[in-house]
Structure 1
Amino acid sequence: MSITVGHQDELAARTGPDRPELQRTIREIIDSGFAGMQVRAHDERGGWVGSAGVAELGGTAKPPVNGHGRIGSNTKTFTATLVLQLVAEGKIGLDSPADGYLPEFGLDRRITVRMLLQHTSGVFNFTGEYYDDGTVVPGIPWQGQEWVDNRFATYRPEELVRLALSKPARFEPGTDWSYSNTNYVLARLLIEKVTGRSVAEEMQRLILGPLRLSGTVVPDASEIPEPHAHAYYRYENAGEQKTVDVTRQNPSWISSGGDMISTTEDLATFISALMRGELLPAPLLAEMCRPHPEAGYGLGVFVQDTACGGTVITHNGGIAGHAALMYSTPDGSKTLTASLNYVDDAAMSLAGAFHKATQRLLEEVFCGGQAGSTDEATEPAQPTC
């Protein structure tokens, strides 16, 4: 299905200094096939927010500049932060065996809490494993008509873990790196076991409440708060392509691997506060941002080099027609967050455009204004991560 936006790629809203380079990049993203996008940036030039495209296919209204959206795997950064906060409280040992907290699953005793957060446990990914030789071992249905027809089904986190543990491990614990949503569902269960409270309650106590993130939700139902842009999924049925609105869905199928909802403002507040040391003591923040050599992944964050020699701390995520970007400098002084709505499909036809556009935005925010900035020269940032 093609998306025609015409003049609808004009910015719906803009605050702060005029940023034509960001306007152009957003327009290019919409022209490449995304339905709508919200962007929020803060750098040495101040704060800027913009929205482009459409909130709903066939409509003319643009995405709200601080609308709610499903944030996919950005959920992992929130979950990892929560685990590390419990480490700081003395309730969890970072290098303790996860089996000691969750004995009911019979986990390999060599798997530590750290390995869960860093994706080095080797545990099978319940959404499926894709091997270098082209072999695919399927997991829970999350694509095609089967997922569309069952997108309101409820899965218990324990179900997802037991499905994963019924499959062979990808590698011996601690010997390699492989991204696995199962690690973060185990982290969720770990949080709930040691606190006796739900992950939503603990998230409110330690992160959402202290930072006043009123637009961020750990959902327990299919609804998404207003305002929001719509998400779509395209699949083939009997030789025909069908596109359905999947804004409403039960994200229990991904659990803490990617179920949260947030806004660009809340994501910016969260990642900046995290990097400034407001949520974790310095030693644990340093552990979080120590990247594994295989993939540059720390504990719930990627550590990524920029084109201009700097570093950003990041996690991005996508889930069935919604996607979110979250970036910060290691000192929290510059941030870039974004929310997209689009027509998702099993072929991931927008993946290339998404990656390219992300790199463009990174260069504009984290590289474009550095040269000749007198503010940064007079008071160097003190990185905490």
Structure 2
Amino acid sequence: MATYALPRALVTLALAGTIAATAATPVTAAPRAVSHRSAHSATQDALDAITRAGTPGALARVDRANDVWHGTSGVADLRTGRARLPQDQFRAGSLTKPFVATVLLQLAAEPEYGLSIDDTVDKWLPGVVRGNGNDGRLITLRQLLQHTSGLYDYIKDDGFRAKFTGMEFFAHRYDGATPSELVRIGLAHRPLFAPGAGWSYSNTNYILAGLVVESVTGNTYATEVERRIITPLGLRGTTFPGTSPSVPGPHGQHYSTLYEDGPGTRVHDVTDFNPSVSGASGEIISTARDLNVFMRSLVRGRLLPPAQQKEMFAGRDIGDGRSYGLGLRSQTLKACGVKVWGHSSEIPGSLTRTAATADGQHVITLNRNSDWGDHALEQAAVEAEFCGPRHH
């Protein structure tokens, strides 16, 4: 679940009467895990700015040649004051998408499966996409992966938002949903445009992409991602939890305002919930280290043959110096002109951003354990890392 508008920059920190702090008095930053301070001081300052603005805790990891840097700010747990740790696992939401896109492209490179990314959705999911002007016979797999299908984003459905991101969350946090149910929510709405005629980010696309992986291989997308990516790359902190509501391993709490707004807005602990409501569009749990390893391997061409690599990185212009390939977004940073590839995510209680240079020599993942705040602060951290004095 990754594309909500978040209007708040600051909120009052209060959780069901038990967690109390104010935006005017931000959580005191815990001791930082910082090395190479002079090389990454601007990035650390950007993390501190995130927590000063009201996020309980933020962390980042940078991988460069002969240089690994960890930065943390704030706390992982408002009750105990435990610091964020470099090895913390967190819900990484739409970072699921480049994993799923990579698997589909791998399948397209393996002749025994008979799959092309220009196949129609209907070839692999006959009759699934129908109704209200939606027609899987006219939509290709490429259009799913690049968000040019025109399909409505099920997460924007008012009923879905109320149950899983609004104040009904606590009554429904363990309900979950099947992929078919999520697709039906999206198809209850008319398409935004004819296939290929525009661009609009839609999580419905990747729920369908996950179903295509299952149709082609006979295995779930999670099984294929684990077999093809997680195990070969040694991503020990990365899991697809399915319907399990908990975050395994060391982790901070995940905090949300559940889309309340205004004075006295409360923060709620939303760490536990059934992530099947995100499925192939956003259920992944990972670590900053694992996401850096994955993104570096991906941009360096270690996961795809050259033809599929070229397809993945052929971006569609989406404005403001940004483009969207197949499961990956690129951005030319305004501060210095450096182009980075990666993805961002928003899921209840967690915001994540991963960005890498095209040669994979410089990669950052940052996470904050909240789902509100000014996204310019995350952008500032990326700009600080890639455009600091050392990198001009």
Structure 2 partner of 1:289: 313
Counterpart Cα distance in 1 of 2:339 and 2:345: 19
Counterpart Cα distance in 1 of 2:65 and 2:47: 20
Structure 2 partner of 1:337: 365
Is 1:199 the equivalent of 2:221? yes
The structure-2 alpha-carbon separation of the partners of 1:7 and 1:185, relative to structure 1 and needing over 3 Å to count, comes to closer
Counterpart Cα distance in 1 of 2:265 and 2:52: 21
User: How large is the RMSD of aligned CA atoms in angstroms?
Assistant: 2.1
Contact kept in structure 2, 1:85 and 1:280, CA below 8 Å: yes
The structure-2 alpha-carbon separation of the partners of 1:171 and 1:226, relative to structure 1 and needing over 3 Å to count, comes to same
Please report how far the alpha carbon of residue 277 of structure 1 lies from its aligned counterpart in structure 2 after TM superposition: 0.6
- Secondary structure of the residue aligned to 2:43 is helix
Deviations 1:321-344 (A, max 9, x none): 1121100001111001012102x4
Contact kept in structure 1, 2:90 and 2:285, CA below 8 Å: yes
The structure-2 alpha-carbon separation of the partners of 1:154 and 1:359, relative to structure 1 and needing over 3 Å to count, comes to closer
Counterpart Cα distance in 2 of 1:294 and 1:183: 17
Structure 1 partner of 2:143: 115
Structure 2: which 5+ residue stretches go unaligned? 1-11, 14-20
Contact kept in structure 1, 2:34 and 2:69, CA below 8 Å: yes
Counterpart Cα distance in 1 of 2:30 and 2:297: 32
Q: Of 363, 380, 385, which residue of structure 2 is paired with 1:360?
A: 380
Trace 1:139-288 onto structure 2 (pairs within 5 A). Answer: 139=160, 141-220=163-242, 221-235=244-258, 241-288=265-312
- Secondary structure of the residue aligned to 1:324 is strand
Contact kept in structure 1, 2:90 and 2:247, CA below 8 Å: yes
Structure 2 partner of 1:33: 54
- Secondary structure of the residue aligned to 1:315 is strand
Counterpart Cα distance in 2 of 1:116 and 1:83: 11
Contact kept in structure 1, 2:350 and 2:367, CA below 8 Å: yes
1:196 maps to amino acid: G
- Secondary structure of the residue aligned to 2:318 is coil
Deviations 1:81-108 (A, max 9, x none): 1111111113221111111000041443
Please report how far the alpha carbon of residue 147 of structure 1 lies from its aligned counterpart in structure 2 after TM superposition: 2.5
Counterpart Cα distance in 2 of 1:9 and 1:272: 30
Is 1:102 the equivalent of 2:125? yes
Structure 1 partner of 2:6: none
Trace 1:297-316 onto structure 2 (pairs within 5 A). Answer: 297-306=324-333, 307-316=335-344
Contact kept in structure 1, 2:27 and 2:51, CA below 8 Å: no
Please report how far the alpha carbon of residue 12 of structure 1 lies from its aligned counterpart in structure 2 after TM superposition: 3.0
Contact kept in structure 2, 1:303 and 1:313, CA below 8 Å: yes
Please report how far the alpha carbon of residue 139 of structure 1 lies from its aligned counterpart in structure 2 after TM superposition: 4.6
Deviations 1:202-253 (A, max 9, x none): 011110011010100111210101210101222459x985542110110111
1:9 maps to amino acid: A
Contact kept in structure 1, 2:58 and 2:84, CA below 8 Å: yes
Structure 2 partner of 1:324: 352
Please report how far the alpha carbon of residue 294 of structure 1 lies from its aligned counterpart in structure 2 after TM superposition: 3.0
1:67 maps to amino acid: D
TM-score (norm 2): 0.85
1:101 maps to amino acid: W
Deviations 1:286-327 (A, max 9, x none): 211111123511110111101212210020101111121100
Please report how far the alpha carbon of residue 10 of structure 1 lies from its aligned counterpart in structure 2 after TM superposition: 4.5
- Secondary structure of the residue aligned to 1:103 is coil
Q: Of 94, 105, 108, which residue of structure 2 is paired with 1:73?
A: 94
Contact kept in structure 1, 2:352 and 2:366, CA below 8 Å: yes
1:298 maps to amino acid: G
1:61 maps to amino acid: R
1:13 maps to amino acid: A
Structure 2 partner of 1:61: 82
1:32 maps to amino acid: A
Deviates more, 1:360-369 or 1:32-41: 360-369
Structure 1 partner of 2:28: 8
Counterpart Cα distance in 1 of 2:73 and 2:308: 38
Deviates more, 1:79-88 or 1:3-12: 3-12
Contact kept in structure 2, 1:125 and 1:164, CA below 8 Å: yes
Counterpart Cα distance in 2 of 1:204 and 1:42: 23
Is 1:93 the equivalent of 2:121? no
Counterpart Cα distance in 2 of 1:263 and 1:11: 20
Deviates more, 1:95-104 or 1:84-93: 84-93
Please report how far the alpha carbon of residue 43 of structure 1 lies from its aligned counterpart in structure 2 after TM superposition: 3.6
Deviations 1:7-58 (A, max 9, x none): 8325431244543222222111110111001110124682211222011113
Contact kept in structure 1, 2:46 and 2:384, CA below 8 Å: no
Counterpart Cα distance in 2 of 1:6 and 1:110: 51
- Secondary structure of the residue aligned to 1:361 is helix
Contact kept in structure 1, 2:254 and 2:269, CA below 8 Å: yes
Deviates more, 1:100-109 or 1:171-180: 100-109
**How many aligned residue pairs are there?**
355
Contact kept in structure 2, 1:313 and 1:327, CA below 8 Å: yes
- Secondary structure of the residue aligned to 1:173 is coil
